[in-house]
Amino acid sequence: MILHPVPEIDVRGELGVDDADDGFIARGRDADQPGGAAGGGIVYGWIEATPGCEKAPALGLIAHMDTSPEASGDPARWRVIDYRGGDIVLNEEKGIVLTLDRFPEVAKYAGEKLVVTDGTTLLGADDKAGVAALMQAAKYFADHPEVPHARLCFCVTPDEEVGLGTADFRREEFGADYAYTIDGGEIGALDTETLNAALVTAHFEGLNTHPGSAKNKMVNAIRMATDFISRFPSESVPEKTSGYEGFFHPVSVTGSVGEAEVRLLIRDHDNAKFEDRKAYARKVGEEMNRAWGGRVTVTVRDQYYNLSNYLEDFPVVTASAREAMKRAGVEIVEEPVRGGTDGCRISSMGLPTPNFFAGGLFFHSVYECLPVKSLDKAYEVARTLCEMSAEIRTLR
């Protein structure tokens, strides 16, 4: 294995790969190169196609190394337990318990080994479990050149948790014709549908005067902001919707009497309804300006689109994922994602990229845990996809 790490990352130490191995070439992007979050941190790797498979579409696997900022992850204090069911005492001294009342999903893993923390840090399975599955697949094919496969492309990204995971991604440099992210989700999860997403930014220009002499003078931007939010349907919010139901979601309100701003998310799986929601937000802006004398500016910016919009033109990509999971003995759970994935943005670059599970539970919290069998199965699906790549001649 030949490695060219970026200056600020020890690729071998972070990814657990050995530069003495043969057949795998990896390269990191220098932080001084243009583009992306701080300009660097992405690592690419390749294993060339075996003889006879050179014309098969190149397969890519992608995972992200960063972990959520929602809880401390440094250092992760983890251990492996034999889970026999019931509540899990993570930290007896501090009284931190993973209870079935709050986390009932863990019950079905009774009888398996679980990786847990001491309740004071993240585990980091989101998405270092994905990185582990990816790297183990790379190692397998580097160690077994006799196994036929197309060109295999591997990518580990930073900054996914802050929305910048693909900021420095270069499709041409990566070189894959189709790809899969390995990120999040319990065993069996296959993500082929996501939300369409847009961000509404509403700016309110108030007029501040001393409250003692404010009559017929003051225009309170905070009142404008609350008026704006109140004009959206109260039932169409995240806490009252599920499945394919879209929503409006105010995420921040900042400002003062003189000036305020509201940021509001629009989400919907259905393309037509997504456009209707954006039109509704613009209409609210027009109504607000009539009511408040032209003091409101509303902008609507698309963020990403439903993954299915891109995958429908490449049916073999999704079909291959389903077949790989079947071959691995994994029951498929294919449900609409009430969010987005890095695959949405990568797919918009012309590289169809659904997502499959890394196997963990309760991400972004100190209760995060990882069934060992689920991680093993994530690796098995990744390896099977690589094996199947030798059989694929077209993605349509």
CA dist list (Å): 251 to 20, 200, 203, 261, 264: 49, 10, 14, 11, 6
| CA angle in degrees (0–180, nearest 5) for 316-327-44 | 60
Q: In what order do the strands lie in the sheet with 78-82?
A: 78-82, 113-117, 370-371
Please confirm, yes or no, whether 66 is among the known catalytic residues: yes
Name the packing angle between helices 271-292 and 221-230 (round to 10°). 140
Dihedral sign (CA 234, 239, 241, 247): positive
Helix (H), strand (E) at residue 325? helix 315-327
The reply to whether 93 belongs to the active site is: no
Q: How many residues does the chain have?
A: 396
CB 356, CB 341: distance < 8 Å: no
How large is the C-alpha radius of gyration of the chain? 24
Residue 111 · residue 84 · CB < 8 Å? yes
Return phi, psi of residue 25, to 5°: -120, 130
Q: Which of 126, 127, 159, 160 is catalytic?
A: 160
Catalytic residues: 66, 160
